[in-house]
Structure formats: structure tokens, C-alpha cells
């Protein structure tokens, strides 16, 4: 497995993997009409914005890509937040490669980056409450549930979300 920082050239492949992951993980959780709709176009616009010149490589956000034999198998995106924490906003592994260790490797690399580039900051993420496999993974990785809330998604529907947190010491010592 090879890890590298994502670039503007990765927009299409990251958006495609992001869409594939959502359609697999969120089937039965998000409305089928949404998942089957223009999700790829939405994800492409999101990644084009995140990786636009001036943002990519700024040292503030990180897109870390996992490749094997030239194929992107997973990615993680982190963004420091105004509240002093680091948001792990996306962690996706190709659905056929789940439970292969890629997600855990990405978490480790993400925490190493957070500890080195943003020392003393907690890392957190938000996961859909009904995404039991992801919740189990985050708990195996030492995440602690901090709060639950309803989130209004840009597509116009609400879903229950759980925030998971890793303390600064957990981030620094994670393995």
C-alpha cells in the first residue's frame, strides 16, 4: 500500500470512490432517490472545491490517498476547525476492500499528521447513527461517542448523527 497527498488531479477518482462508498454504506439509511440521483456530480463539485488551487497543499487540510497497484483503494480527509479540533470529514475505502486493514492504516496516517501538524488538538468525526459497521470500526479505533444530534443534509433531509472524539493524547499515541 502506498500513501500520498491528494491533488487536483484526483478529483474524479476520489469523487467516484466517495459516491461508490456512500451508495454501499448508506443504502437503507439515506433515501434511495438521493443515492441514485446526481450524487456523483455533487461529490465531484465538493472535491473540485476542496482541491482547488490555493486550498490544496496549504498545510491546513489534508487529503491522504491509499493506492495499491496504481488503483485508489481509499482516502481520508482532515480539516482543522475554528473550535481548535481537527475534523476527520471523510474516511472511505472501496467497498470490496472493507475489512482489509486499509481504513485502519488511513486512521493511523491521519492521526500521525494531526499530531505532527496540529499538536495538542483533538480529532473528531461525525457518523450516521444507523451506520453500525462504521460505528463499530471507530469504536475499535478508540473513538468515544461525545454527542448525538440531528443533521440537516444539503439535499434537504435530516438524519441522526453521532460525534466520535479522540483526545489529543489518544491522537498522539494511536497505533
Half-sphere exposure of 1 (CA within 13 A, CB side): 18
pLDDT in tens, 2-15: 999 999 999 999 99
pLDDT in tens, 117-170: 999 999 999 999 999 999 999 999 999 999 999 999 888 999 999 999 999 999
Q: In 3D, which of 56, 58, 78 has the Cα closest to residue 6? A: 56
- Please state which of the ranges 41-50, 89-98, 113-122 shows the lowest mean pLDDT: 89-98
| Full DSSP string of 124-162 | EEEEETT-HHHHHHHHHTT-EEEEEEEEE-TTS-EEEEE
Answer whether 64's CB lies under 8 Å from 3's CB.
Answer: yes
List, in sequence order, the alpha helices (H) in 26-154.
32-35, 39-50, 102-117, 132-140
Name the band, by pLDDT with cuts 50, 70 and 90, for residue 59.
Answer: low
pTM: 0.91
| Neighbouring C-beta atoms of residue 46, cutoff 10 Å | 18
Amino acid at each position: 500500500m502506498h500513501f500520498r497527498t491528494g491533488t487536483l488531479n484526483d478529483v474524479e477518482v476520489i469523487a467516484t470512490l466517495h459516491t461508490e462508498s456512500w451508495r454501499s454504506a448508506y443504502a437503507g439509511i439515506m433515501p434511495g432517490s438521493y443515492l441514485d440521483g446526481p450524487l456523483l456530480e455533487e461529490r465531484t463539485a465538493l472535491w473540485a472545491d476542496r482541491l482547488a488551487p490555493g486550498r490544496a497543499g496549504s498545510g491546513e487540510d489534508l487529503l491522504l490517498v491509499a493506492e495499491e497497484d496504481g488503483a485508489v483503494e481509499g482516502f481520508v480527509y482532515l480539516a482543522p476547525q475554528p473550535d481548535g479540533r481537527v475534523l476527520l470529514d471523510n474516511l472511505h475505502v472501496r467497498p470490496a476492500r472493507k475489512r482489509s486493514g486499509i481504513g485502519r492504516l488511513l486512521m493511523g496516517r491521519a492521526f500521525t499528521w494531526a499530531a505532527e501538524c496540529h499538536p495538542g488538538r483533538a480529532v473528531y468525526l461525525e457518523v450516521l447513527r444507523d451506520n453500525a459497521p462504521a460505528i463499530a470500526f471507530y469504536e475499535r479505533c478508540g473513538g468515544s461517542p461525545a454527542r448525538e444530534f440531528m443533521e440537516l443534509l444539503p439535499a434537504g433531509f435530516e438524519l441522526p448523527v453521532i460525534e466520535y472524539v479522540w483526545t489529543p493524547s489518544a491522537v498522539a499515541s494511536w497505533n
